[in-house]
Chain A
Amino acid sequence: MPVTMIEVTGLRVVLPPDLAAVDGVDLAIRPGEFVVILGRSGAGKTTFLRALNRLVEPTAGVVRVGGREVTGADDVTLRALRRQMGMVFQQFNLVRRMSVLDNVLAGRLGWAPPLPSLVGRFPAEDRRIALECLAQVGLADFARRRADTLSGGEQQRVAIARALAQSPSVILADEPTASLDPALTGSIMDLLKRIKAERGLTLVVSQHQLATALAYATRVVGLRRGRLVFDGPPDGLTPAAVATIYGDEPAK
Chain B
Amino acid sequence: MRRAAVFVALVLLAWIAWDTGADPARFVRGLPWMLDFFQRMLPPDLRVLPAALVGAWKTLEIALLGTAVAAVLALPLGFLSARNVASPGVFYSARATLNFVRSVDTLVYALIFVAAVGLGPFPGVLAVVAYTTTSLAKLYSEAIEGIDRGPVDAITATGATRLQILRWGVLPQVLPLFLSYALYRLETNIRAATVLGFVGAGGIGFYLQTYLRMIDYPAASTVLLVTVLMVMVVDAVSSKLRARLV
Chain A positions near chain B (C-beta within 8 angstroms): 53, 55, 79-83, 85-87, 89, 91-98, 106-110, 114, 117-118, 120, 159, 162, 166
B96 to chain A, nearest CB (A): 27
A98 in contact with B172 (CB, 8 Å): yes
What does the 1/0 interface line of B135-166 toward A look like (CB < 8 Å)? 00000000000000011011111111101100
Q: Which of B101-118 contact A (CB under 8 A)?
A: none
B34 to chain A, nearest CB (A): 51
Q: Which residue of A lies closest to B171 (CB)?
A: A95
A93 in contact with B153 (CB, 8 Å): yes
CA distance A86 to B153 in the complex (A): 12
Cβ-defined partner of B155 (8 Å) among A53, A106, A120: A106
Cβ-defined partner of A89 (8 Å) among B150, B159, B173: B150
For chain B, the bracket of interface size reads: 20 to 34
Q: Which residue of A lies closest to B162 (CB)?
A: A75
Cβ-defined partner of A107 (8 Å) among B158, B163, B172: B158
B158 in contact with A110 (CB, 8 Å): yes
B165 to chain A, nearest CB (A): 8
Is B15 an interface residue, CB under 8 A from the partner? no
A137 to chain B, nearest CB (A): 16
Give 10 nearest A-B pairs by CB, closest first.
Answer: A110-B159, A83-B159, A93-B150, A93-B154, A87-B157, A109-B160, A82-B159, A79-B159, A95-B151, A95-B172
CA distance A159 to B157 in the complex (A): 12
Contacts of B157 in A (CB 8 A): 53, 55, 82, 85-87
Is B43 an interface residue, CB under 8 A from the partner? no
23 A-B residue pairs with Cβ-Cβ distance under 8 Å, sorted by A, are A79-B160, A80-B159, A81-B159, A82-B158, A87-B153, A87-B154, A95-B151, A96-B173, A97-B173, A106-B155, A106-B158, A108-B158, A109-B155, A109-B160, A109-B164, A110-B158, A114-B161, A114-B163, A117-B164, A117-B168, A118-B164, A120-B167, A162-B154
Chain B positions near chain A (C-beta within 8 angstroms): 150-151, 153-161, 163-164, 167-169, 172-173, 175-176
Told that A87-B157, A89-B150, A93-B150 touch, could you supply 4 new A-B pairs with CB distance under 8 A? A80-B159, A82-B159, A83-B159, A162-B154
CA distance A106 to B150 in the complex (A): 14
A101 to chain B, nearest CB (A): 13
CA distance A120 to B164 in the complex (A): 10
CA distance A106 to B156 in the complex (A): 10
Cβ-defined partner of A95 (8 Å) among B161, B164, B168: B168
Q: Which residue of A lies closest to B170 (CB)?
A: A95
B180 to chain A, nearest CB (A): 13
B156 in contact with A55 (CB, 8 Å): yes
CA distance A114 to B150 in the complex (A): 22
Contacts of A97 in B (CB 8 A): 172-173, 175-176
